[in-house]
Structure 1
Amino acid sequence: MKFTRWTPPLLLLIVLVLCILMLSYPQASWIAGTRGLGIWWNVLFPSLFPFFVISEVMLGFGIVHFLGKLLDPLMKPLFRIPGSGGFVAAMGFASGYPVSAKLATKLREQGLVSRVEGERLVAFSTSSDPIFLIGAVSVGFFGDPKLAGILAVAHYGSAIFVGICMRFYGGSNETPQQTMKQKSDKSKAKSDARSFSLRAAVKAMHDARVADGRGLGELLQQAITSSLQLMAVVGGLVVFFSVILEVLTVSNAMSILYHGIRLLLHVLSLPPELAEPFVGGLFEVTLGAKAAAAPAGVPLVFKAAAAAFILSWGGLSVHAQVASILNGADLRYLPFLFARILHSVVSTIFVFLLWEPLGIHLPAFIPSFLLTRSDSAWSLWPDLLTVSLIIISSMLIVSLLIRIIHLMIFRR
């Protein structure tokens, strides 16, 4: 992102204004800071840290390469992403933001994806985790398990839709080397699908393990160190945005934004009472989703649509986390921003389209442990791993079916 000569003075002015507000409202700043720290420690740290460590260990042992070989028939034609991106998508859908950004940068560092492929991957695989979406939002905030199915289908269905749309991104921006690689990949697509086998996947895992060369102790130590560093960045951003949102609220500086959102909602024929959830969700997803359930007298379908929009947008706190992670590689932030806007709009539309036919039927198919609300994720991260295994297994089955259908067609 390029900066103009006006950027430093503008940033300095914003920082000074924020400092003055924090000094003017010290108690509100302290309460908001402790609340943000509690969210980080009780929710984000236990749900994200194990995934970061386990994912890096799996990369070091070549397990990601193994899964990537098996997921090629699914990921390449659908999203124009190598099969290794399927592992990132599964972990991202299961554990929530910003896991997929972290893993995508790891794939980029190892040369498993190109720059454009990494940006496509981060764009559609950044999502809310199902335990938060179903257990916290549907059951905890709304107190209605019937919302779980419609929110899950709208959120994850629209994420897949965004991934399909993003496959058309970046076709003309590849380097000559990447273009040659794409042509080579296309020429080998048929043979790859036919030669797809567990033996090839095991060989890919073995080659990756030999190339890595680190022992288990060294690999685990480096995984824990890098994961702790990232969690510190995530925690700092969560606390920062929690404080900023609070001081802007108590100082009435948000009144202009509230007024603008109300006018926009009126133009769109939506309840103006949803202005507070949208403003809160603009900064932080948890506050916005909780506020979406609060307005009295607003039809449930509108509150569910607002929650879907907020969950898909993710909040500026998540955007800052992802941007800080992408900054460590050569992946750009703007494709991610475009995808978040598209994801938010499409998920909202999905809620309205699916409300009548699906809204009351889908919850019966949701595992019971996802409907359990908990204020702390320390006891829930094993369930997140279970969700990851379910998603990866489902993707492997679909990939195998695609391979079988491919073979049946080309043998005729």
Structure 2
Amino acid sequence: MREIFNFTVIILCILYFLSMFLNPQLIIQSTTKSAIIWWEKVLPSLFPYFLVINVLIESKLISCLSNIFFLLSKKIFKLSSNGFLAMIIGMLTGYPIGSKMVCNLYSQKLISKNEAVRLLYFVNNSGPLFIIGTVGINLLGSKKYGYMLFFAHILASLIIAFCTSRLAQSEIPSASTPYKLLNFDIGKVLSKSVKDSVESILIIGGFITLFFNLNNVLEYFKIYHSICSLFRFTGADATLIKGLLYGLFEITNGSVQINTNSLPVWQKLIASELIISWGGLSVHFQTISFLSAAGLQSFHYIIGKLIQCALAAAIICVFLIISPL
């Protein structure tokens, strides 16, 4: 499996390299556009979250804050209060903050390795602003559809969290020990928090540019067109296949491709849910870079995203049966 993956990456790198010579303007325009998206959309929305989370963790203030959730997290999900707080933040903020927070908590020894691994199955989620605002209102033209997508996405995550809690070891985490709120060096905390946040946001920007360019390279070499032609014999709509292929690599491009074409609404909803719950290879590579730095493996994270895709799409189908469009 690793050999197949490595071979695929090598082929993509060769195509990327060739496109720089055959059509350098394509790469320049694509890189410029991705940098603008990163500067205008990603940096303002993610950097404050990274900074606040890093300050909370570095100063140990998160241990005090998370004790509020201790009883709820212990009884329902068998998580420590810190782990439960990471789960809530991951559901409310968006990719890749949930996984980044787990890595930070594990590196600071605020959660165990077993709990970190279990959190990776369900902690990394798309944010409500993107699902309801961007996909629901802007692309689908309906707040109702946005809420349907969001609730299916989060419900799938909660189901995974509950199911993994049944398989968790019998040990029940205890509440964090009290911590003196002012017992930290504010200079060191802010310095390290800013440094880590800047590093994280730059990594994200690099991956956004990489996969934004990659989508354009695959389009330029007619790879997407060839794959869509292969699926033509199955009767699947070429537009739908192309949108899902875009979503395989990057969530925003995939969502735009699906929802700006003349597909039936039910197909748009199911395809959008698959793309949103998958998150895209762009998000996954960002997450894997954080996991590698923390000494955690990516296997459980990828499996969790695949399960969430299937569950969320199934929940959307149930919604459509209960309340037809």
TM-score in terms of structure 2 length: 0.90
The change in CA–CA distance for 1:263 and 1:242 in structure 2 (over 3 A counts) is: farther
Residue of structure 1 in register with 2:240 after alignment:
274
Question: Is structure 2 residue 2 aligned with structure 1 residue 20?
Answer: no
Residue of structure 2 in register with 1:228 after alignment:
198
Q: Which amino acid aligns with 2:107?
A: E
Residue of structure 1 in register with 2:307 after alignment:
342
Q: Gapped runs of 5+ residues in structure 2?
A: none
Q: Which of 222, 245, 267 matches 1:302?
A: 267
Question: Using the alignment, how far apart are the partners of 1:108 and 1:77 within structure 2?
Answer: 22
The change in CA–CA distance for 1:139 and 1:11 in structure 2 (over 3 A counts) is: closer
Q: Secondary structure at the match of 1:126?
A: coil
Could you list the per-position Cα deviations for residues 56-88 of structure 1 after superposition, in whole angstroms to 9, with x for gaps in the alignment?
A: 111233332123323222223433321111221
Could you list the per-position Cα deviations for residues 194-244 of structure 1 after superposition, in whole angstroms to 9, with x for gaps in the alignment?
A: xxxxxx77x5232xx57xx54222211210111001111110000011001
The change in CA–CA distance for 1:260 and 1:157 in structure 2 (over 3 A counts) is: farther
Higher relative contact order (CA 8 A, sep 6+): 1
Q: Which amino acid aligns with 2:313?
A: T
Question: Is structure 2 residue 260 aligned with structure 1 residue 286?
Answer: no
**Structure 1 consecutive aligned stretches of length 4 or more whose deviation exceeds 4 Å:** 6-14, 260-264
CA displacement at 1:313 relative to structure 2: 0.3
Q: Secondary structure at the match of 1:146?
A: helix
Q: Which of 220, 237, 246 matches 1:250?
A: 220
Residue of structure 2 in register with 1:83 after alignment:
81
Q: Secondary structure at the match of 1:258?
A: helix
Q: Which amino acid aligns with 2:71?
A: P
Could you list the per-position Cα deviations for residues 358-396 of structure 1 after superposition, in whole angstroms to 9, with x for gaps in the alignment?
A: 578xxxxxxxxxxxxxxxxxxxxxxxxxxxxxxxxxxxx
Question: Using the alignment, how far apart are the partners of 2:30 and 2:126 within structure 1?
Answer: 23
Q: How does 1:8-407 map to 2 (within 5 A)?
A: 12-167=10-165, 185-186=171-172, 204-206=178-180, 214-260=184-230, 266=235, 271-296=237-262, 298-357=263-322
CA displacement at 1:325 relative to structure 2: 0.6
The change in CA–CA distance for 1:229 and 1:71 in structure 2 (over 3 A counts) is: same
The change in CA–CA distance for 1:263 and 1:117 in structure 2 (over 3 A counts) is: farther
Question: Using the alignment, how far apart are the partners of 2:93 and 2:28 within structure 1?
Answer: 29
Could you list the per-position Cα deviations for residues 24-47 of structure 1 after superposition, in whole angstroms to 9, with x for gaps in the alignment?
A: 221221221122112211111111
TM-score in terms of structure 1 length: 0.72
Q: Which amino acid aligns with 2:161?
A: G
1:150–1:359 Cα contact (<8 Å) kept: no
Question: How many pairs are equivalent?
Answer: 325
Could you list the per-position Cα deviations for residues 3-60 of structure 1 after superposition, in whole angstroms to 9, with x for gaps in the alignment?
A: 66x9877755542332112322212212211221122111111111101110111123
Q: Which amino acid aligns with 1:259?
A: S
Question: Using the alignment, how far apart are the partners of 1:92 and 1:352 within structure 2?
Answer: 25
1:312–1:344 Cα contact (<8 Å) kept: yes
Question: Using the alignment, how far apart are the partners of 1:219 and 1:231 within structure 2?
Answer: 18
CA displacement at 1:331 relative to structure 2: 1.4
Bigger Rg, structure 1 or 2: 1
The CA RMSD measured in Å over matched residues stands at: 2.5
Percent identity, aligned pairs only, is: 24
Q: Gapped runs of 5+ residues in structure 1?
A: 172-181, 193-199, 361-412
Q: Secondary structure at the match of 2:179?
A: helix
